[in-house]
Amino acid sequence: MRNLFIGLTFSLIWASASVATKFGLIHGDPLILSNIRFALSGGVLLLFTYLFKRGPEYRLPRGKEWLQLAIFGFLNTALFLMLYVWGMKTTSAGIGSLAVATNPLFITFLSAIWLGRKPERPDLIALFLGLAGVSVATYPLLGNGHTSPFGVSLLLLSMLVISSASVYYASVRWELPNLLINGWQIMIGCLVSLPFTLTFADFEAHHFDATFWKSVTWLAFAVSIVSLACWFYLLKIDTIKASMWLFLCPIFGFYYAWLLMGEPITAFTIAGTLLVLSGLVISLMAKARRQMRTTSSPRMQ
């Protein structure tokens, strides 16, 4: 029951990110929204960790760890969220949530390339279905002002960036605890993106109103801290089972978009979502088969 509760909590909160972002962008600038979110979530994580966690592992990064955190923070926080929030400016919340669901497909594809092996047929089919699903769901929204091709392109590019960050993260032998890795990479992302925000953000058009602060507070604490804590917990138990909770995210995301923003749910929406979910199923099944081959191979030698 505990794992069920944590899994549902992750799916419900993670799926809300697109709608929360859209609310923050009603009268807000994408760069300002991102930077304040970084500062709040990263600052709270580091403050909590250093104040309340004990042990020699809860220390400052040192040596090459700073470079590793800088690379991870640039990809996973600064570049990813700047592209994502910029794309959400001209994309519907539902499509934003569906695009996020393609993230595991990009990770599987890039992992194969990183490991020096040719992507297998299931990986290519899964990625094709994911991209096709986003395209199908997007099609009816292109002419009504909800979504632009440029915005969708930015969203998919942001998924490619964060998938690259995940592959890089898996390749590093980290000695710091997850809390510190996450806290520092967010703060580094904040510092990296700050010059761009100060240079290019439209401060005159930005309104620090109640809607903006509700949005950024939810994104910083609920999405960036609570949801990710649930995700890391699920990953420690079982990677395959944890990934199953991603199936609920686009469904919840479209529901939030319809309920809170009045975005339409059409036959194209349902068909596109089913295509993305089919891609996720194929990807997870292929991943499970590879894990079985890996674990059984030592016994066969």
**Per-residue tokens: 88:** 């959400």
**Gyration radius of the chain over CA positions:** 19
Strand (E) or helix (H) holding 69: helix 64-73
Find which of 136-145, 256-265, 289-298 is predicted with most confidence, using mean pLDDT: 256-265
Alpha-carbon span 227 to 7, nearest angstrom: 9
Picking from 104-118, 200-214, 218-232, which range would have the lowest pLDDT averaged per residue?
104-118
Q: Give pLDDT, residue 32.
A: 95
Residue 297 has pLDDT above 60, yes or no: no
- Assigned token pair, 69: 């955190």
pLDDT of residue 243: 81
Which has the higher per-residue pLDDT, 232 or 188? 188
pLDDT of residue 242: 82
**Neighbouring C-beta atoms of residue 17, cutoff 10 Å:** 24
Tell me the pLDDT tens digit for each residue of 130-184: 999 999 999 888 866 678 999 999 999 999 999 999 899 989 999 999 899 999 9
Q: What pLDDT is stored for residue 235 in this prediction? A: 80
pLDDT at 42 over 60: yes
Between CA 54 and CA 61, with CA 59 as vertex, the angle to 5 degrees is 155
Residue of higher predicted confidence among 198 and 301: 198
Integer Cα distance of 269 and 267 in angstroms? 5
pLDDT at site 292: 81
User: Which residues have C-beta within 8 Å of that of residue 197, sequence separation ≥ 6?
Assistant: 31, 32, 34, 35
Let me know: does 98 contact 92? Beta carbons within 8 Å.
Answer: no
| Percent above pLDDT 90 for the chain | 72
pLDDT of residue 301 exceeding 80: no
Tell me, what DSSP letter sits at residue 118? P
Quick check: 116 pLDDT over 70?
yes
How far, in Å, CA of 51 to CA of 58, rounded? 10
7-41: per-residue pLDDT in tens? Answer: 999 999 999 999 999 999 998 999 999 999 999 99
Q: Which amino acid is at 100?
A: V
Give yes or no for residue 240 having a pLDDT over 80.
no
pLDDT given at position 145: 65
Pairwise CA distance, residues 185 & 41, whole Å: 11
Cα 59-232-95 angle, rounded to 5 deg: 125
Mean pLDDT, residues 43-71: 95
Dihedral sign computed on CA atoms, order 32, 226, 255, 78: positive
